[in-house]
Structure 1
Amino acid sequence: MTNPATSAPPLFGRALCAMVTPFTEAGALDLPGAQLLAVRLVSEGCDGLVLSGTTGESPTTSDAEKAALVAAVREAVGDGVPLVSGVGTSDTRHTVELARQAEQAGADGVLVVSPYYSRPPQDALEAHFREVADASGLPLMLYDIPGRTGIRIEPETLIRLAEHPRIVAVKDCSYDFLGTQKVLGRTDLAYYAGRDEHILALYAVGAAGYVSTVANVVPAQLRAILDAFEAGDTTGAARLQQRATPLIELMMAAGLPGTVTTKALLNSLGLPGGSVRAPLRDAGRGAVDGLVAAYEEYVAG
């Protein structure tokens, strides 16, 4: 069954996890750990995985590590699970190179964030995305997160970009419900909630689903929100979204980056995570205890 507000199943699926990149105790890429985590996420309800996004610490992983991660996860989950690889940088040429590399490594799509720090105007931003889209045969998911990049992908820009045959989706962290609904109403772009508190709200107005950080630790519980809505149980879906709020807030809005809180929880649960790479720092004992308590209360409810 599909969201009645959309006309076709989304290319990348509905329930996507922005997967962390596990590291060994020595700080190296933990490919067996990544494979184990990926298989768990898929078995517990994730339709697809986004690798080397912000949650995957892409600014601190090398090009070779990004390619190796795609190849290893592809080997673990098989060909039927969509893999989207983060390739966005502040350099158009480098982003093009990473998109081509992701295609060769076995990705099904690429996640392209707005160039950060340089804050290009909208015409330059549009040209950047088009050049990346023309560089490979992979479909693009644009990543609109102005709080991190310093620049918004404006709705009118998204509407123009939707005309490109390989620009097919948006990970939405814009906090602009009006702008999002405007684009949804005028394009066929598959919108994904990039903030876990917006999963149900965006899905109810026609979004494709979510790309979730919190799904690293509770994939089945978040998938249940979409399932309840699709089954017509809108009240139940609202309750499930509300019940997730304390954990979402602690993981995503309590002062620590989501990568840090996610890895802290995964490590506490005996799942692959490892430390974060500098300049990030691992969560302290008090933060870890609070996260574990919130997780246990959520899954027990």
Structure 2
Amino acid sequence: MPSTSPFGRTVCAMVTPFTPDGALDLDGAQRLADHLVGRGGCDGLVLSGTTGESPTTSDAEKSALITAVAEAVGDRARITAGVGTADTRHTVELARAAEKAGAHGVLAVTPYYSKPPQEDIAEHFRTVADAIGIPVMLYDIPGRTGTRIEPDTMLRLADHPRIAGVKDCAYDLFGSAKVIAATGLAYYSGSEELNLPLRAVGGVGYVSTVANVAGPAVAAILDAFDRGATDEATRLHQRLLPLTELMMASGFPGTVTAKALLNERGLPAGPVRAPLRPASAACTGALLEAYGKLGL
């Protein structure tokens, strides 16, 4: 089912490949992006999100990554660039640079650590949206930022012509459903275990870390639901849960587990940057076993 959202429907939160010595691997990024779009079931890519190790990549690396991936995928997928920081001025700079580099949209997270009040959060997002001519996806992940974008704030922000979507990691299905029902915001699940439940209440898709390694299996769940095969969608959702749990809830960050599996499969990934450390041999073995059971 094609998406009418400017961000796509089956969106991968792509890892950022590095060379063995830790430098940005632009050739690897192009090859991985081409794989995810061509064979991985993805019609959108988020670059320089948390999974893309945005805290440890420079502004110049972020722009170079967008340019390289845009060149690789052309018009086959929508590219959304992570631009979130705790500093409104810096976020605006990154958003403008992302637009110039060829991104179709930006992903902006709630300013973290300083815990601004709701009206300050709203003004932060309006300032970013006012500074660019491409759509903005809000990233609501209070478990990392310390602050929720409250549903009432979402309702106010939905009036902005360039605030078009939400990556939802708030774990509040009721609140999300209320905003979906009252606005035109395109809601994306940012938590794989909620991909199907959020779609059932009006979400348009997902932004998935697991899609780095199992994109077709993640997409098949929504495909089944959208053609009315709800029992099949549930079965496919349940089938993916063991890999999802190992990748996202085993004590290792999703970046670490995704790169471990990609490296084992011979796809571009490379090392993680400190303070992250590579997955242990035991973790990698368990990931490979769960991945193998999917029959991909």
The TM-score with structure 2 as length reference comes to: 0.98
Partner AA of 2:28 in structure 1: G
In the other structure, the counterpart of 1:106 is 102
C-alpha displacement of 1:80: 3.8
1:295 aligned to which of 286, 291, 296 = 291
Distance 1:222 1:97 in 2: 33
Distance 2:265 2:120 in 1: 45
Distance 2:182 2:51 in 1: 30
Distance 1:132 1:53 in 2: 17
Q: Which runs of 5+ in 1 are unaligned?
A: 3-7
Pair 1:34-2:29 in alignment: yes
Pair 1:128-2:124 in alignment: yes
In the other structure, the counterpart of 1:214 is 210
In the other structure, the counterpart of 2:193 is 197
In the other structure, the counterpart of 1:5 is none
Q: Which runs of 5+ in 2 are unaligned?
A: none
Moved over 2 A (4+): none
Pair 1:9-2:26 in alignment: no
Q: Deviations over 1:181-222 (max 9, x none)?
A: 110111000000000111111011110100000000011111
Residue-pair matches, total: 295
Q: Deviations over 1:154-189 (max 9, x none)?
A: 000000000000000000000001110110111000
1:242 aligned to which of 196, 215, 238 = 238
C-alpha displacement of 1:297: 1.2
2:258 aligned to which of 257, 262, 269 = 262
Give the 3-state SS of the residue equivalent to 1:78 in structure 2.
Answer: helix
Cα contact 2:9–2:205 (8 A) shared by 1: yes
Distance 2:199 2:233 in 1: 11
Give the 3-state SS of the residue equivalent to 1:116 in structure 2.
Answer: coil
Distance 1:227 1:43 in 2: 17
1:23 aligned to which of 14, 18, 40 = 18
Pair 1:173-2:178 in alignment: no
Aligned runs of 1:156-167 on 2, under 5 Å? 156-167=152-163
Percent identity between matched residues is 65
Distance 2:208 2:130 in 1: 27
Give the 3-state SS of the residue equivalent to 1:299 in structure 2.
Answer: coil
Pair 1:252-2:248 in alignment: yes
Partner AA of 2:6 in structure 1: L
1:283 aligned to which of 276, 279, 284 = 279
CA RMSD of aligned residues (A): 1.0
Partner AA of 1:296 in structure 2: G
Pair 1:273-2:269 in alignment: yes
Distance 1:233 1:70 in 2: 36
2:75 aligned to which of 51, 72, 79 = 79
C-alpha displacement of 1:299: 2.5
Cα contact 2:193–2:241 (8 A) shared by 1: yes
Cα contact 2:43–2:76 (8 A) shared by 1: no
C-alpha displacement of 1:79: 2.8
Aligned runs of 1:61-72 on 2, under 5 Å? 61-72=57-68
